[in-house]
Amino acid sequence: MKILKNNQGFTLVEVILAFTIIILLITTFAGAVLVGLRSERTTRNIDLASSMSASIFDYLANSKNLKNIINSGGVDLSSGSYSNDIRGFIEGDLDTVSPSVIKDQLSDIFDDYLDNNRFNYLEKSEIEISDSEIIDDLYNIKLTIFWAEEEGEGTYEIETMMGAD
């Protein structure tokens, strides 16, 4: 006697296996998306910090601007180096720079980046200027930009040498 089996559908084992695979794929994909979003925020902050420092360096690359800043008295290199937070450098130590448009233009550059609400700039960001011992009127300039992130702080640091003829 033949027994006819009605095989419509999947067995319980097949259903559990299929759901397990689907759940693993969803979990992996969701994790990858979250890591990608976090990486995008970090990359955006690094881009903004590098753009900010490039703008400041570009302004200081004009040797007349740098010479006026060095000779202003606000930047004291008598000990061989000068260090201050960037806001203090722009808003305080550049008060004696002539022409005053230098301070105004650097302040505008600085404010343009801080007006961007996605960039959580930290006030401990600093500028260091030191006299190069290699050649007269050659200066080491180092910018360190700090910003707040969800898991702590981000840092971008760049250093170069510039001449003030």
pLDDT band at 128 (very low <50, low <70, confident <90, very high): very high
CA triple 114-117-118, angle to 5 deg: 110
Find all residues with CB under 8 Å of 107, minimum gap 6, and list them: 90, 91
Q: What is the pLDDT of residue 146?
A: 92
Q: What is the pLDDT of residue 120?
A: 81
pLDDT (mean) for 72-78: 77
Find all residues with CB under 8 Å of 105, minimum gap 6, and list them: 59
Q: What is the pLDDT of residue 23?
A: 93
pLDDT band at 111 (very low <50, low <70, confident <90, very high): confident
User: Residue 97: CA atoms inside 13 Å, Cβ hemisphere, count?
Assistant: 25
Is residue 147 within 8 Å of 45, Cβ to Cβ?
yes
Nearest partner of 147 among 34, 52, 56, judged by Cα: 52
| Distance from C-alpha of 49 to C-alpha of 52, rounded to nearest angstrom | 5
Q: What is the pLDDT of residue 66?
A: 84
pLDDT (mean) for 85-111: 82
> pTM (2 decimals)?
0.70
Nearest partner of 93 among 109, 119, 71, judged by Cα: 71
Helix, strand or coil for residue 6? coil
Q: What value does the mean pLDDT of the chain take?
A: 83
Helix, strand or coil for residue 155? strand
Q: Which H or E run contains 84?
A: strand 81-85
Please write the tens of the pLDDT for every residue from 114-123. 886 667 888 8
Q: Which H or E run contains 49?
A: helix 12-60
Q: What is the pLDDT of residue 116?
A: 66
Please write the tens of the pLDDT for every residue from 1-58. 566 666 677 788 888 999 999 999 998 888 888 777 777 777 888 888 888 888 888 8
**pLDDT exceeds cutoff 80 at 78:** no
Question: What residue segments make up the domains of the chain, in order of their start?
Answer: 12-163
Place of tokens 């180092």: 142
Nearest partner of 69 among 136, 143, 122, 137, judged by Cα: 137
